Copies of this chain bind each other. A is one copy, B any other.
Amino acid sequence: MEHEDIIKELGKEKLIGFYTKMVKIRSFEERIRFLFLEGKMPGTIHQYIGMEANAVGVCSALQKDDVIASTHRPHGHAIARGLSFNEIMAELYGRTTGCCRGKGGSMHLGNLEKGMLTAIAIVGGNLPIVVGMSLAFKLMKQNRVAVSFFGDGASNEGSFHESLNMAAVLNTPSVFVCENNQYGASTSIKKVMKIENIADRARSYGIEGVIADGMDVIDVYIHAKDAIEKARKGGGPTLLELKTFRFCGHSRRDPGSYIPKEEKESWQRKDPINNFKKLLLNEGLAGEDELDDINNLIEKELDESIIFAQESPEPAPEDTLKDLYATMEVPE
């Protein structure tokens, strides 16, 4: 289908929804960056700026009872999957109202009730778990799909290999979304793999490997939808590579000096939000005012979530001893 037709098919509401979600992520990330710089937030963070189209495109193609699994860089996934600013923000502040009651922090965001597993901060660590979640769906004969988000770097982990192969032979309803943002921490993928497309690795498992433009939410959405619906229909797993880039450092402390200026700039021209905004305006799907209103609403929601988080109760020190076992107290 041509881009134009697709836009028509998706319709205004959906597209504005994409925009809103992407801006939510971007605004959230910008805001907490300052909170961190000001020393108001504990811990460390890995941000999603520049990659918004990935999470939004994929999660928009999911049904309510599907499940995603995320990484050390989960803010975007959490927001796209529908976790509230409040529960995320409170978790970053380590409060009892956080989605993990303050036990998880930035790297372990999640809320299974909303279709997101507690994020796994071990690179490659969520892929085998996603195989298991989708295996459960298959065994329980539920038409649900499990999606793993992971990075280019993760695709060099043994867990990637074992997971894709196992999903292939068990024919589980899994989608493996590789967000290829060209770097794993400070390391360019060119240094750590001799192939151009990670999607090609799908061949090793006899499954389909697909590439989409991770800077274009519509392209991501379409390809994700195909993969997800294929999985749902019993067609087995897909490896979906999204070509993308992060416009921020790897983590809070990282100025990203290892990225050549030209590379950064060329990707910045593909800013998934700017370009999508232009498209909305050009196609007459929204006016500047309308979009500004969205932005303003989000900023307000953010303000409120910060207040919510800051005013939420700190856990008691002894809460450390809760939540480990379902069936017993922590033994002395």
Chain A residues within CB distance 8 Å of chain B: 156-162, 165, 168-169, 191-195, 200-201, 203-207
Contacts and interface: CB of A to CB of B under 8 A. Distances in A.
Contacts of A192: 165, 169
Contacts of A201: 204
19 contacts: A156-B161, A156-B162, A157-B158, A157-B161, A157-B162, A158-B158, A158-B159, A160-B161, A165-B192, A168-B193, A168-B194, A169-B192, A193-B205, A194-B205, A195-B206, A200-B203, A200-B204, A201-B204, A204-B204
Contact of A194 (B193, B200, B206): B206
A204 B206 contact: no
A162 B158 contact: yes
Give the residue among A165, A203, A207 with the most B Cβ atoms within 10 A: A165
Nearest to A236: B194
A204 B162 CA distance: 14
Contacts of A159: 158
Contact of A165 (B169, B193, B205, B206): B193
Query: Which one of A159, A161, A194, A203 has the greatest number of beta carbons of chain B within 10 Å?
Result: A161
A201 B195 CA distance: 12
Contact of A204 (B158, B169, B203): B203
Contacts of A168: 193-194
The 8 closest A-B pairs by CB, nearest first: A158-B158, A194-B206, A161-B161, A201-B204, A195-B206, A168-B194, A158-B162, A204-B204
Contacts of A195: 203-206
A251 B156 CA distance: 33
Given A157-B158, A161-B162, A194-B206, 12 more contacts: A157-B161, A158-B162, A161-B161, A165-B193, A168-B193, A169-B192, A169-B194, A194-B205, A195-B205, A203-B203, A203-B204, A204-B204
Nearest to A202: B204
A131 to B, nearest CB: 13
Contacts of A156: 161-162, 165
A162 to B, nearest CB: 5
A56 to B, nearest CB: 29
Contacts of A193: 165, 168-169, 205-206
